[in-house]
Each structure stands twice: as C-alpha cells, then as structure tokens.
Chains A and B, each alone.
Chain A
Amino acid sequence: MDLLTPGVGLIFWQALIFLVLLFVLSKMAWKPLLNSLKEREETIQGSLDAADKARQQMASMQADSEALLKEAREERDKILRTAQEAANRMNEEARNDAKKSADKIIEDAKSVIQTEKQAALRDIKEQVALFSLEVAEKLMRKNLSDDKAQKELTNRFVDELKLN
C-alpha cells in the first residue's frame, strides 16, 4: 500500500465503522450530552432571570416603601400641624371663655354689690329717717312744751313750704 493511493479495504472499513460510530454516538452520547448541556444552560439562564426579576422586585418594593414612608411622614406632619392648630385654637377659646366668664362674674359681682349697696343705702336712709324722727320727737317734746315755740315752729314750716 502506497502513501498516496488509498486502499479500498480501509475506505470500506472507515466508511462502515464511521457510520456505525455516527449512529451509535448520536443515539448514545450526543443526544443525552447535548440535552443535559442545554438543560443546564436553560437552568442557569432561568436562575439568572429569576435573580434579576427578584432584584427588580426588590428595587420596586424599596421604592414603594420609600414612597409609603414619605407619605406617612407627610401625613404625620399634617396631623401634627392640625393638632397644633387645634390646640392653639382651643387654648385661645379657653382663654376667651375664661375671660368672658371672669368678666361676667365680675359684672355680676358688681351688680350684686350695686344692689346690696342700694339696699344698704335704703336701710341707712330708713334708719336715718327713724333716728331723725326719734330725735325730732325728743326735741319736739322738749321744745314744744310752750305755745310760743309751737307757733314759731309752725311758722317756720309754713315758710319752708312757701320756699319749696
């Protein structure tokens, strides 16, 4: 057999054995190996996709929670502000009310005092009048023991009456 002339026998065996090898390896080796490689590739890709998705979800969740936090903070600020205002208002009102009622109490007290004063004055007037009458009576009893004095007094009364 020469270097450059192919031997018929070897061509025959090569073709036969290569075809058998191709058939057997395709069924026995390439199919399971390529399938397992493909499966692994898909698994890895799937895992990467899932991880990516999870990361995105987490990012969106974080954004959500941040937004929620911001909202809550705003809500809190609003509530605090409103509460402050309400407290201020109530304070103001209470003060006003207190002032009003104090005024009223003072007013009432004043009017009571006035009334009491009037009543007291009236009493005093009456007492004074009574004392005066008593004094006058005593005086008169003493001074009107004669006619002259009676006459004089009568005259004076008449003069006074004229004057009035």
Chain B
Amino acid sequence: MTAFPNKNVLFRNFIIILLFIGISTPSVAAQSDKEEGVNVSEVIIHHVLDDHVWHFFDGHYGTLYLPIIVYSAERGLEVFSSANFYDEHHNLIPYNGYKLEHSHIYLGEEQVLDLSITKNVAMLIITAVVLLLVFGAAAKGAKRNAGKAPKGIQSFIEPIILFVADEVVRPNAGPKADRFLPYLLTLFFFILFGNLLGLLPGAGNLTGNIAVTMTLAAFTFVITNLSGNKNYWSHIFWTPGVPLVLRPILLMVEIIGIFTKPIALFIRLFAAMTAGHIVLLSIMSLTFIFHSWIVGFGSSILVLFISLIELLVAGIQAYVFTLFSSLYIGLATAEDEHH
C-alpha cells in the first residue's frame, strides 16, 4: 500500500470522533496502525467519506464508476465518467488535464468546482426516489381509501406522520406549526430514510456527511430567521426585562445563539451517524486485525447488537433533528406571553 500523506490527519479525526461519542477503543486504533497489510483506520475513514466511485467489493465489477461533473472558468462545464481516472489496475491516472487526488479534482494545480454525482449524491438520489415511491404509494392509498380505513403502506406511514405532526411539530413549532409541517415532515422522513438506507451494506454514509447535515441545518436556520416575528428579534437585539448594562452582552450571546443552534443540529446528526458507522466498522475490523475466527464470531455478535442500536439511533436522530428544528421555529414564531 502506498504511503498516504493524509493518514495522520485522518487517524486523528478518527480518534477525535471516537472520543467525541464517548466510545473509547484506543486498543483497536493503536493495533490497526501497527498491523501490516490492513490499514483499518484508513479503510474505515474511506468508508464513511464521500467518493467519486462506488466501491462494493474488490475486482473489476465491484466498482461502480459514477459521473464526474466539473466546472472551471477555463474549461466550463464538463461531464465524464470517473472510470477515466483509473487504469486497469485501479490506480489513479490523470485524464484530459484533470487530476483526482484524495477525492479532490484538480485542473493543473487549481481545484475545480466539483458537482459530480458522487457516492453520496447517488445515495441522495436513491433516498429521494425511495421517499417518492413510498409516499406516492401512501398518498395514493389515502386518495383511494378516502373516508375508509387505511390500507397497506398507507397504514404504516400514517401513524408515523401523526406522531411527527402531533408529538413533535404541533406542541413545539408554535402557533403556526401547520405552516411548517410539510418542511418538517420532509426533513424527518429524509433523515430517517437516509439513516436507514445508510445502514445497508455497501451504502454511502449520506446523513453522516457534514455537507448534508449542514445543508439541512441551513434550511432550518433560514426558515427560523425568515419566520422570526417582532418578539423574536426584540429578544435578540434588546432583551426586555434585563438590566440595561447587561443588554449589550446579551446581544452578543443571542447573536451567537442564532448560529449555535443550527450548528449544534448539524454536528449532532453528522457525529451520531458517522460515529455509528465507525463503531460498526471498527468492531468488524477486529476480525481482520486479529486474524482469528473466534474474534470474528464475537465481533459479529457485537456488530449485530450495535446494528440494532443503530436502527434505534436512525430513528432517534431523525426525531431529534425534527424536534429541535420545530423548537427553533416555535421560539421564533411564539407570541409574547410572559411580559
């Protein structure tokens, strides 16, 4: 295996993530680094990251080459297959002046705007299609069974919608909760389906990608601040009921607060999902580190239980993201009650 200059950084990130979620497996990490042949931390990090190819298994047909879409001022928009970056031994080669290095595409020495359909974008499209199929079927059921008892997929989906609407959104998202319900429902089911699909073997870590969670949190941020009423802004800029000298200090705190809320949102989801994937992969890797089928048996059982926990986490994280988004919107649209 060729030297990987970014390895230490990646390893550090890996450790940070492990510490961050409070699961300490230093022995695994330490050993993996020493182990020859298998660089576990690299493999794991590679699995949770985005990529321009979708690698299912080794061999010629084990890789799905995804389309590359790049834009540069020099060349304009160009679309080609990522297969062009690989030779028959799966080694990276330059193509048409473009160079793929550590998943970044360079034209000469300049990094270009990369709008490729990466593994996560492909996962994103799959998630969107699954959502459309499931909810299209459920909505069709709702139309067909109007005034009758729900049937089929509709009866599975409806209780979840009711749970999100009645337990998460309406009690928290303030007086205009129903206006934000479509957004919050889409958010909830997107995260839930993304989390669950991400748990499938070979699937991309969509909802554990910081770009995805950041974008989702940005939507909540924009909606929260666009729908913020007079009451919300007056609390931020000139908090009532507080001594005058404290108000400028509170102003700073409040302004920081506007941003920390969505940041907490996206880091929570990103960390929870990525950490889950890393834990699963780490335990799986124990087999390869120890070269022992006994360890393999033990780690498989552990992986089974942690997978079950991950299923739970998939639901909880979707719930929490929606809950906090609802709360933030609720705080921004609440009527003045206590002054």
Contact B139 A32 (CB under 8 A): yes
A interface residues with partner B (beta carbon < 8 Å): 1-15, 17-18, 20-22, 24-26, 28-37, 39, 43
> Looking at B135, B139, B146, which has the most chain A CB atoms within 10 Å of its CB?
B139
Q: Across the A-B interface, how many residue pairs have beta carbons closer than 8 Å?
A: 135
The answer for the CA separation of A25 and B128 in the assembled complex, in Å, is: 10
**Cα–Cα distance between A10 and B190 once the two chains are bound (Å):** 15
Question: Which of B114, B181, B218 is the one whose CB lies under 8 Å from A7?
Answer: B114
Sorted from nearest, which 4 A-B pairs have the closest CB atoms? A6-B211, A29-B135, A10-B211, A36-B142
Chain B residues with CB under 8 Å of A15's CB are 215, 218-219
A22 to B147 Cα, complex, angstroms: 26
Q: Are A17 and B128 in contact, CB atoms less than 8 angstroms apart?
A: yes
Q: Kindly state the separation between the CA atoms of A30 and B216 in the bound complex, as whole angstroms.
A: 19
Q: Which residues of A lie under 8 Å from residue B285 when comparing CB positions?
A: none
B135 close to A28 (CB less than 8 A): yes
Q: Bound complex: CA of A1 vs CA of B211, how far in Å?
A: 11
Q: Residues of A contacting B334 with CB < 8 Å?
A: none
Extra A-B contacts (10), CB below 8 Å, given A1-B118, A9-B116: A1-B50, A7-B114, A9-B114, A9-B118, A14-B215, A15-B219, A22-B186, A31-B182, A33-B157, A36-B150
Please classify how large the interface on chain B is, using the bins under 10, 10 to 19, 20 to 34, 35 or more.
Answer: 35 or more
Interface residues of B (CB under 8 A from A): 6, 9-10, 13, 17, 45, 48-51, 69, 102-104, 113-118, 120-121, 124-125, 128, 131-132, 135-136, 138-139, 142-143, 145-147, 150, 154, 157-158, 161-162, 165, 181-183, 185-186, 189-190, 209-212, 214-216, 218-219, 274
When chains A and B are docked, how far (Å) is the Cα of A37 from the Cα of B218?
A: 30
Cβ A21 vs Cβ B186 within 8 A: yes
Check A22/B118 contact, CB under 8 A, given A3-B49, A4-B210, A14-B215.
Answer: no
CB pair B186–A26 under 8 Å, yes or no, is yes
How far is the CB of B291 from the nearest CB of chain A, in Å?
A: 28
Contact of B113 among A8, A20, A33, A36 (CB under 8 A): A8
Contacts of B135 in A (CB 8 A): 25, 28-29, 33
Between-chain CB contacts (< 8 Å), 21 pairs: A3-B10, A3-B45, A6-B211, A8-B114, A9-B114, A10-B209, A12-B115, A14-B212, A14-B216, A15-B215, A17-B128, A18-B215, A21-B131, A21-B186, A25-B132, A26-B182, A30-B186, A34-B165, A36-B142, A36-B145, A37-B158
